[in-house]
Amino acid sequence: MYAAIAAARNDASALLLDKSLVGRGGATIIAQMTVAAAIGHEEPDHWTDHLQDTLAAGRELCDEGLARLLCENGPARIFEMDGWGAHWARGADDRIRQVKAPGHGRARCCYVDFLNTGPGVAGTLRRQVSTLDPVRRVSNIAVTDIVVHDGRAVGAVGLDVVSGNVVTFAAKAVVLAAGGLTKIYRRNSASTNMGGEAYALALWAGAELIDMEFVQFFPIAHLAPRLVGMDPIMWDPFRYKLGGRLLNGDFEEFMHRYGGQDSGTYTTVRDQASYAILKEVEAGRGSPHGGVYLDFRHVPDATLRGAFGPVIDRLAHNGIDLTQTPVEVAPTAHYHMGGIRVNGRMETCVPGLYGAGEAVGGANGANRLSGNAITEALVFGECAGREAAAAVAGTPHGWTARAAEGAVERLNGALGATDDSGIPANVLQQRLQTVMWENAGSFRTADQLGRALDGIREIREAPVAVRPTGSYNLDIQDRLELRAMLTTAESVVRAALGRGESRGAHQRLDFPESDERLVGNQVIEMRDGELTARWPAGAGR
């Protein structure tokens, strides 16, 4: 949405496509957390300090140009959103409230009251988009291919989910902003439509991916008791605002055993916390459901209500009283640091093809700093829309129907296929999720990653059951999504195999230490239909 807004105010028309309803799918709408930006309203701050924290979290692998773009432009986006009515939480002096999140040296994370940040941001952008005549919104479009002609991105081919028809779109430039890949894992915190399609679409179009081995596992996602209608990663602000204690199954604090000093500070970064939790479970010191305890019994009820108000009542409706009993938490696939390789203008190596938000890799290196995700969406979205509009100003469409023939034929072939004897695509998706969770999760070995490749190959070769096409055909949607999920999952596994060390969110049990020879960013590309990984000169040896 931010890319469309930026394109419109730079004299371009924009077509905003969404696989679900525009502005109501993906990750932002369900995010309840914070947005990091050095606006200095809570305490003195500067974007260079934000940058240093971002680089430190990235374990020497951040693209410093992209990280700088993120941190330097974050404040402008926060203030612009504020002018559009984002309703950032405010103090008595009417200054925007900010909190200190894990990995930050200062209180710089803004939020919308009572864990409503994601819906607040998404709603603000929806309203802004609706006022812009140059932006046309089309929902329920599953894009299946980017059309490239004479080496340039000139449009897209997709499925109209409602009618079941093939649709084509001509464009002078294309921005891929389809989010992350966490649906490829069995346990994940994201929207069900985040299957890694942006990465697959980029690869098929000839673009490159970077840092695909770095999947961020959120350490304290809700595990038990049952929680309905609330974000499973909601516990992070509770923890760092109120001092929630992480305890193992023996009700002992344990982070100090793994290099963290968490007691009294509660700011251990995510990869370190995930590692510690999974190690405690592995050692037989986990909670009954296979995680650890998050304990707020030492926090008075008035303090809980003062910080989170109606959220406490929503928890009560789920039978959870934080003053009486701890909850169980465990890591879950949450975010992806890697993604499409872009330059400082958000442009890929394919002219006319841009990336934005979580679809882009490089800025966060090996581990994303808390609060940077929505900032990344706002900043990179604005940059992509502005740069794309400037690049295509006054140029004619490069679209030809002939250029789209191959993609149209592939999609028509998928729509025309029927097979009652195969395996339903959603069942194959579940198999893939299990393969990735068990073999390419927080901790990996070469043997596990080899099994993951075998599993991906078996799923790719399995016969898929497809019923006749029609409106809202979930079978064909699942089948198309599975194609992208398999490509993206293989990209993660091949990159993980290529990095023989442990760094940030990528932990190899057979290479437990970091290796300074591997300070570099792996690139994934597709050559003759096969995925390959390569290192920059001088790295990866």
Q: What is the pTM (predicted TM-score) of this model?
A: 0.93
Single out the residue in 308, 332, 356 at which a domain terminates: 332
Please check the confidence at residue 320 and state whether its pLDDT lies above 90. Answer: yes
Single out the residue in 284, 315, 332 at which a domain terminates: 332
Token pair in block for residue 220: 């304290």
pLDDT at 142: 94
pLDDT at 351: 96
Q: What is the CATH number of the domain that holds 478?
A: 1.20.58.100
Please check the confidence at residue 245 and state whether its pLDDT lies above 80. Answer: yes
Q: What is the pLDDT of residues 475-489, one digit of tens each?
A: 888 999 999 999 999
Q: How confident is the model at residue 114 (pLDDT cuts 50, 70, 90)?
A: low
In this structure, the number of other CB atoms found within 10 A of the CB of residue 358 comes to: 31
* DSSP-derived 3-state class of residue 263: coil
In a domain, 241, yes or no: yes
Q: Are residues 526 and 429 in the same domain?
A: yes
Q: Are residues 506 and 422 in the same domain?
A: yes
pLDDT at 414: 81
Q: What is the CA radius of gyration of the chain?
A: 23
Residue 308 near residue 115, CB atoms below 8 Å = yes
Q: Are residues 431 and 520 in the same domain?
A: yes
The more confident residue out of 28 and 41 is 41
Q: What is the mean pLDDT of residues 358-375?
A: 95
pLDDT at 213: 98
In a domain, 520, yes or no: yes
Q: How confident is the model at residue 265 (pLDDT cuts 50, 70, 90)?
A: low
Q: Are residues 408 and 325 in the same domain?
A: no
Tell me the CA distances in angstroms from 232 to 26, 288, 330, one per residue in order.
Answer: 15, 18, 10
Q: Are residues 413 and 527 in the same domain?
A: yes
Quote the domain boundaries for residue 522: 402-534
In a domain, 354, yes or no: no
Q: What is the mean pLDDT of residues 330-338?
A: 94
Residue 80 CB partners (closer than 8 Å, separation 6+):
none
In a domain, 373, yes or no: no
Q: Are residues 321 and 424 in the same domain?
A: no
**Which range is least confidently modeled, 157-171, 224-238, 481-495?**
224-238
Residues constituting the chain: 541
pLDDT at 540: 58
In a domain, 519, yes or no: yes
In a domain, 165, yes or no: no
In a domain, 243, yes or no: yes
- 3-state SS of 359-424 is HECCCCCCCCCCCHHHHHHHHHHHHHHHHHHHHHCCCCCCCCHHHHHHHHHHHHHHHHCCECCCEE
pLDDT at 189: 84
pLDDT at 259: 79
Q: Are residues 530 and 417 in the same domain?
A: yes
pLDDT at 116: 85
Single out the residue in 317, 332, 347 at which a domain terminates: 332
pLDDT at 362: 97
Burial of 261 (0-12, 13-18, 19+ CB in 10 A): exposed
In a domain, 176, yes or no: no
Please check the confidence at residue 125 and state whether its pLDDT lies above 70. Answer: yes
- The answer, yes or no, to whether the previous bond of 225 is cis (omega within 30 of 0) is yes
Q: What is the mean pLDDT of residues 154-159?
A: 96
* DSSP-derived 3-state class of residue 256: helix
* Spatial distance between the Cα atoms of 110 and 252, rounded to a whole number of angstroms: 32
Please check the confidence at residue 284 and state whether its pLDDT lies above 60. Answer: yes
Q: What is the CATH number of the domain that holds 252?
A: 3.90.700.10
Total tally of structural domains belonging to the chain: 2
Residue 486 near residue 197, CB atoms below 8 Å = no
pLDDT at 267: 66
pLDDT at 266: 67
High-pLDDT (> 70) share of the chain, % = 98
Q: What is the mean pLDDT of the chain?
A: 92
Residue 78 CB partners (closer than 8 Å, separation 6+):
35, 37, 39, 88, 96, 110, 378
- What are the backbone angles phi and psi of residue 364, rounded to the nearest 5°? -100, -5
Q: Are residues 420 and 505 in the same domain?
A: yes
pLDDT at 472: 78
pLDDT at 538: 62
Q: Are residues 408 and 491 in the same domain?
A: yes
Q: Are residues 418 and 296 in the same domain?
A: no
Q: Are residues 228 and 319 in the same domain?
A: yes
